[in-house]
Amino acid sequence: MFGSCCHCHRPGAAGFIRGFGPRMPAPIRLRELIRTIRTARTQAEEREMIQKECAAIRSSFREEDNTYRCRNVAKLLYMHMLGYPAHFGQLECLKLIASQKFTDKRIGYLGAMLLLDERQDVHLLMTNCIKNDLNHSTQYVQGLALCTLGCMGSSEMCRDLAGEVEKLLKTSNSYLRKKAALCAVHVIRKVPELMEMFLPATKNLLNEKNHGVLHTSVVLLTEMCERSPDMLAHFRKLVPQLVRILKNLIMSGYSPEHDVSGISDPFLQVRILRLLRILGRNDDDSSEAMNDILAQVATNTETSKNVGNAILYETVLTIMDIKSESGLRVLAINILGRFLLNNDKNIRYVALTSLLKTVQTDHNAVQRHRSTIVDCLKDLDVSIKRRAMELSFALVNGNNIRGMMKELLYFLDSCEPEFKADCASGIFLAAEKYAPSKRWHIDTIMRVLTTAGSYVRDDAVPNLIQLITNSVEMHAYTVQRLYKAILGDYSQQPLVQVAAWCIGEYGDLLVSGQCEEEEPIQVTEDEVLDILESVLISNMSTSVTRGYALTAIMKLSTRFTCTVNRIKKVVSIYGSSIDVELQQRAVEYNALFKKYDHMRSALLERMPVMEKVTTNGPTEIVQTNGETDPTPLETKPPPSGPQPTSQANDLLDLLGGNDITPVIPTAPTSKPASAGGELLDLLGDINLTGAPAAAPAPASVPQISQPPFLLDGLSSQPLFNDIATGIPSITAYSKNGLKIEFTFERSNTNPSVTVITIQASNSTELDMTDFVFQAAVPKTFQLQLLSPSSSIVPAFNTGTITQVIKVLNPQKQQLRMRIKLTYNHKGSAMQDLAEVNNFPPQSWQ
Amino acid sequence: MIQAILVFNNHGKPRLVRFYQRFPEEIQQQIVRETFHLVLKRDDNICNFLEGGSLIGGSDYKLIYRHYATLYFVFCVDSSESELGILDLIQVFVETLDKCFENVCELDLIFHMDKVHYILQEVVMGGMVLETNMNEIVAQIEAQNRLEKSESGRQP
């Protein structure tokens, strides 16, 4: 089209036409482009240069010139790294891959890996090229193909080419064999069903002498073991061979080709140690087979360089994770303790991380290093401080509480603001568990409130108030200290809230000057009211704090004698406050004065001692199974007696709940350990800190008091008045004739609660009896299981068992649940575990 | 598994960007910028491990980095990698670059971005460690370079 006119005019412009007239100048080399771009002084200038070059590249691509394609793609990749769009080069990469030249293929494959991904259809076009290249005569071309497949191969590509990879896994060419091993890992990740296919090829992998192949083979074996318990069992027989290889590495003496700072191939050693860890976990025989080598590595490794420490660290992790003998474990923890004293902060960091993981299981051993850990609180490095803090809290116990608390309070004073909230919460928790005396407890709380008062979490305030209420003999002391604390400074809201509440409750003790613990102060009623009014007026007080203050003032009307009129005046002023909360309170209190004065003293009476309902907040899972409703299952009396077996104790500890007895009679008594183990699996990833939660005796069960109609379990009536409608139900489980459906209800006013009604039905020809449904959720959720309608699922779908589950999901995370079903069917005990992942988004978003 | 390998200079300009998990382009650039800011804040006497930024994946991921003269080498890894091991790996990678470029400096990385990628490919493949023996890697790179040279006189 442009044809004839351009032909005779400007020579350069004729390059648009193929073969007509003078061509465009050759595309500039990558080096020149880079040089040019570096001269740009502003972002705009750079962008202009890039755009110009892109246009040139585009026209060059259109010319279909093979000679310069590879240069152009290289430039495109450079521009892509700087952040400019390069998608128009994708097809060109494919053309390069299809070329015969190694140079072209090299840059083509690189471009494919950087620019393409499996979401684009274009990438499928590569499959054939890769297939051919996997069989190429030049090993480096084969290497490129393996690399690309192993980086970005989609499932379809992997399926098509797995056979080729498997072939290459058996080659004697070590360069290709090691790449094939990693490629196989990628294939297995994409298409797990293909794992079996690689099994025969793994037979000889560990016989290799080449370390590269050994290394990637161990990676492949590790991947297979992690994915499949069957593979894991199968590969356990490799433990002796792995131990031998490791031994050779340690004992072989100087080997220049593998030497890194005097240690023979530390990377391989670390890999092998990791695989040993996986193989030895939960297996006595394997663990025993590796005991010696682990001890050897632990004692002989040179620790002056980082590589030695990497090996030592991996050894420690392995020792802690397998079933090693106690002497070895103590050795491991001592190594970690030595790490803590190392000058290298990286080493200190990993030591603290590992100690944190082991402190639960080997508490006493870690305790020995407590003082070093506490010293780390003073480290300059923020990451180290955080870990030291977490570890310190884990180490606090009844014996060291006083000393630890001193250090922790000092830390709270001086640490960065990002730590203060966590530290304060941790201190409260520790104090609650181990306080040696009530006075100490109150003092500690006071200290936290005064030093870090504004960082204390909101939920701490009610807990503290409850604590103070229950320490009856300390009331006078507490209120006096709190009063003194806010006299100087009432800007820290949690402190002021607690103080206001206490003054409201115990103001009479304050002015009467009766304090046993310390010198009583002289305070008049007016002075007390002064401070409360200042809180009310202050700009620093939040609405919540003001509410506390106003209520406190009101309460004092029954405890003070001379200042009732003043109180009346204050209360009536706030009747017209613009803050609705305050206004409402003031109006109601006013009404109390005017019309219901006879009720006032009764209403404002001292609060009684409160029952502690929950102890650990979000990390606890509350699970009940209708204790007060006698089910046909309970062949044992309600669990107020001593726990029948240690297994029951384990379950109680794990679940932090009370009634698990229905499970025990149905579990086969010949294998008690496995029943507990399965429950452990059920709750696998759930973090339970339920020590105090297990403490409430089963007899005090009615703390979860429910109105009678809920106990029927027939929750066909909606539990909310304003339900969110239209949440689709799901079939959560359907196997062996047992089907469980979940239907959902949510309240618009309380969106973090989801109520799930399960319906279990049975399509087989025999009833399912002794049916028990259990559920567990991840730790950010809370779960409450109400009692089921019955324990028999009748045959032929003639009836259902219904049961209600309430899930609290304050963080609106995706709902997941593991369920365990046990029942008797056709004369045998059935048990199944399942995961429910298909919750509709409307049930949790 | 290694999620990403980033090399940038003291001003945040990227010198090598390699992701082993797919992210859209804009996110990739954001990640580079975010990582740079996180790493820049670190003093030299602090440990080389950082919890990852919010973009690159969440609590399972760590950033492990080393600072060499004008360049930061940052590896973003998940919990299956040994932190101390990765530190050693970075050292191996840098020493390999040194051998291939003869006293490598930032300019080498700037002008030979493709070559740096090829070298990296022999060390890390698909987010997993492939080879850690420096001499092996250098030998393989040199063989491939010779192959390129023999094909044509023209260099990209």
Which tens digits make up the pLDDT trace of A701-720? Answer: 333 333 333 333 333 444 44
Chain B residues lying within 8 Å of A310, measured CB to CB: 82, 84-85, 87-88
A106-110, A578-582, A606-610: segment of lowest average pLDDT: A606-610
**Given this model, what pLDDT does residue A649 score?**
39
Is the separation of the CB atoms in A363 and B28 below 8 Å? no
Which residues in chain A touch residue B140, judged by CB atoms under 8 angstroms apart? 140, 175
Q: Looking at the complex, report in whole angstroms how far the Cα of residue B70 sits from the nearest Cα belonging to chain A.
A: 17
Name, in order, each residue with C-beta under 8 angstroms of A817's C-beta and a sequence gap of 6 or more. A732, A775, A776, A777, A835, A836, A839
Locate the chain A residue with the closest alpha carbon to B7. Answer: A81
- Give the residue from A221, A727, A49, A352 showing the smallest Cα distance to B83: A352
Q: Is the pLDDT of residue A632 over 50?
A: no
Contacts with B133 from chain A: Cβ below 8 Å? 211-212, 257-258, 265
Size of interface A-B (CB pairs under 8 A): 155
pLDDT band at A840 (very low <50, low <70, confident <90, very high): confident
- Find the residue in B nearest to A38 (Cα): B110
Torsional sign, CA A703, A708, A714, A716: negative
Residue of A nearest to B18 (CA): A114
A370-416 confidence digits (pLDDT tens)? 888 898 888 888 778 888 998 999 998 888 899 999 999 999 988 88
Residue A259 has pLDDT above 90, yes or no: no
> Measured between CA atoms, how close is B126 to chain A, in angstroms?
4
Q: Residue A147's closest chain B neighbor by CA?
A: B125
Inform me whether the C-beta atom of residue B132 falls under 8 Å from chain A C-beta atoms. yes
Q: How many CB atoms lie within 10 A of CB A473?
A: 10
Three-state SS at B77:
strand
Is the Cβ of B88 closer than 8 Å to some Cβ of chain A?
yes
Q: Which of A110, A114, A307 sits opposite B88 (nearest CB)?
A: A307
C-alpha–C-alpha distance, residues A814 and A844, integer Å: 6
- Which residues lie across from B7 on neighbouring strands? B16, B73
> What pLDDT, on the 0 to 100 scale, is given for residue A754?
85
Query: What is residue A635's predicted lDDT score, i.e. its pLDDT?
Result: 38
Contacts of B127 in chain A (CB under 8 A): 151
- The CA distances from residue B47 to A353, A383, A714, B39, in Å, are 13, 8, 58, 11
Task: Please spell the DSSP secondary structure of A33-97, one letter per residue.
Answer: HHHHHHT--SHHHHHHHHHHHHHHHHHHHHTT-HHHHHHHHHHHHHHHHHT---GGGHHHHHHHH
Longest dimension (CA), chain A: 112
| Nearest chain A Cα distance for residue B47, angstroms | 5
For the cut 60, the answer to whether the pLDDT of residue A222 exceeds it is yes
Q: Given CB atoms, is B41 within the 8 Å cutoff of chain A?
A: no
pLDDT at A618: 41
* Residues A24, A694: Cα–Cα separation, whole Å: 82
What is the pLDDT, as a whole number, of residue B28?
A: 86
3-state secondary structure of A397: coil
Which phi and psi angles does A390 have, rounded to 5°?
Answer: -60, -45
Neighbouring-strand partners of residue A263? A260
Q: Which class for B78: exposed (0-12), middle (13-18), buried (19 or more C-beta within 10 A)?
A: middle
pLDDT grade for A604, boundaries at 50, 70 and 90: confident
Inter-residue contact A135 to A170 (CB < 8 Å):
no
Residue with tokens 């405890």: A559
pLDDT value, residue A515: 76
A255 residue type, one letter: S
Give yes or no for B22 touching A (CB within 8 A).
Answer: yes
Q: pLDDT band at residue A253, thresholds of 50, 70 and 90?
A: low
Q: List the one residue out of A692, A684, A705 whose CA is nearest residue A616.
A: A692
Quote the minimal CA–CA distance from A119 to chain B in Å: 10
Token pair for A4:
């004839």
Among A266-280, A740-754, A770-784, top mean pLDDT goes to: A266-280
Confidence at residue A685, expressed as pLDDT on a 0 to 100 scale: 42
Q: Which two tokens stand for residue A555?
A: 């309460």
Residues contacting residue A591 through CB under 8 Å, at least 6 positions apart: none
Beta-carbon separation of B144 and A140 below 8 A: yes
Query: How far is it, in rounded angstroms, from Cα A72 to Cα A93?
Result: 10
Which residues of chain A does B88 touch, with a Cβ-Cβ cutoff of 8 Å?
260, 266-267, 306-307, 310
Residues paired with residue A391 on neighbouring β-strands, in sequence order:
none
Directed axis angle between helix A139-152 and helix A102-115, to 10°? 10
Q: Vertex A461, ends A618 and A690: CA angle to 5°?
A: 30
Q: Is the Cβ–Cβ distance between A650 and A688 less than 8 Å?
A: no
Angle at A444 (CA atoms; ends A438, A450), nearest 5 degrees: 135
**CB-based contact, B46 to chain A, within 8 Å:** yes
- Chain B residues within an 8 Å CB radius of A70: 156
Tell me the DSSP string of A532-550.
HHHHHH-TT--HHHHHHHH
Helices in A139-258 by DSSP H: which ranges? 139-152, 155-169, 174-190, 211-227, 229-235, 239-251
Contact B58, B73 (CB under 8 A): no
Provide the pLDDT for residue A248.
87
CA–CA dist A40, A38 (Å, integer): 5
In whole angstroms, give the CA distance from residue A681 to residue A675: 10
Confidence of residue A255 (pLDDT cuts 50, 70, 90): low
Residues of chain B whose pLDDT is less than 70? 52-59, 152-156
Give the pLDDT band (50/70/90) at residue A564: confident
Q: Is A691 a residue whose pLDDT tops 70?
A: no
- Alpha carbons within 13 angstroms on the beta-carbon side of residue A397 total 10
A480, A471 contact by CB (below 8 A): no
List the strands of the sheet with B2-9, edge to edge. Answer: B14-19, B2-9, B71-77, B62-68, B49-51
Nearest to A449, CA basis, from A398, A413, A418: A413
Q: Determine, for residues A102 and B147 on separate chains, whether the beta-carbon distance falls below 8 Å.
A: yes
- Determine which of A145-159, A250-264, A493-507, B102-116 has the lowest per-residue pLDDT on average: A250-264
The alpha carbon of residue B116 is apart from the nearest alpha carbon of chain A, in Å, by 11
When pLDDT is cut at 50, 70 and 90, the band that residue A45 belongs to is very high
Give the separation between CA A415 and CA A411, rounded to whole angstroms.
Answer: 6
Q: Which residues contact A81 (CB under 8 A, 6 or more apart)?
A: B14, B16, B17, B113
Residues B154, A85: C-beta atoms closer than 8 Å: no
Question: Is the Cβ pair B152, A119 closer than 8 Å?
Answer: no
Q: Which residues of A touch B16 (CB under 8 A)?
A: 81
B33: contact with A, CB 8 A cutoff: no
pLDDT in tens, A182-204: 999 999 999 999 999 999 998 88
Q: Decide which of A66 and B68 is more confident.
A: B68
Flag if A182 and B125 touch (Cβ within 8 Å): yes
**What pLDDT score was predicted for residue A493?**
87
pLDDT at A695 over 60: no
SS3 state at A150:
helix
How wide is the angle at C-alpha A371 spanned by C-alphas A370 and A373, nearest 5°?
A: 65
Please answer yes or no on whether B130 and A82 come within 8 Å at the CB atom.
Answer: no
Closest chain B C-alpha to A674 CA, distance in angstroms: 29
Least confident of A521-525, A667-671, B32-36: A667-671
Residue A808: DSSP 8-state = E
Residue count of chain B: 156
Select the more confidently predicted residue: A768 or A626.
Answer: A768
Query: How confident is the model over A6-20, as a mean pLDDT?
Result: 43
Residue B38: the pLDDT is 85
Q: How far is A258 from chain B (nearest CA, A)?
A: 6
Q: Which amino acid is at A195?
A: M
Q: Cα distance from B108 to chain A (closest Cα, Å)?
A: 11
Chain A residues close to B90, C-beta within 8 Å: none
Candidates A30, A78, A87, A106, partner chain B, best to mutate (most B CBs within 10 A):
A106
Q: Which residues between 48 and 67 in chain B have a beta carbon less than 8 angstroms from any beta carbon of chain A?
A: 48-51
B15, closest residue in chain A (CA to CA): A81
Rounded mean pLDDT of chain A?
Answer: 79
Strand partners, A741: A731, A759
- Report d(CA A265, CA A803) in Å as an integer: 59
| Residues paired with residue A819 on neighbouring β-strands, in sequence order | A775, A834
Q: With CB atoms and an 8 Å threshold, state whether A212 touches B131.
A: yes
* Angstroms from A372 CA to nearest CA on chain B: 18
The Cα of A227 is separated from the nearest Cα of chain B by a number of Å equal to: 14
Residue pLDDT, tens place only, A415-430: 888 788 889 988 988 8
When CB atoms are compared, the residue of A80, A85, A186 closest to B126 is A186
A804-832 average pLDDT score: 86
Contacts of A182 in chain B (CB under 8 A): 125-126, 128, 130
Is the confidence at residue A668, as pLDDT, over 80? no
Model pLDDT, residue A680? 38
Q: What is the pLDDT of residue A641?
A: 35
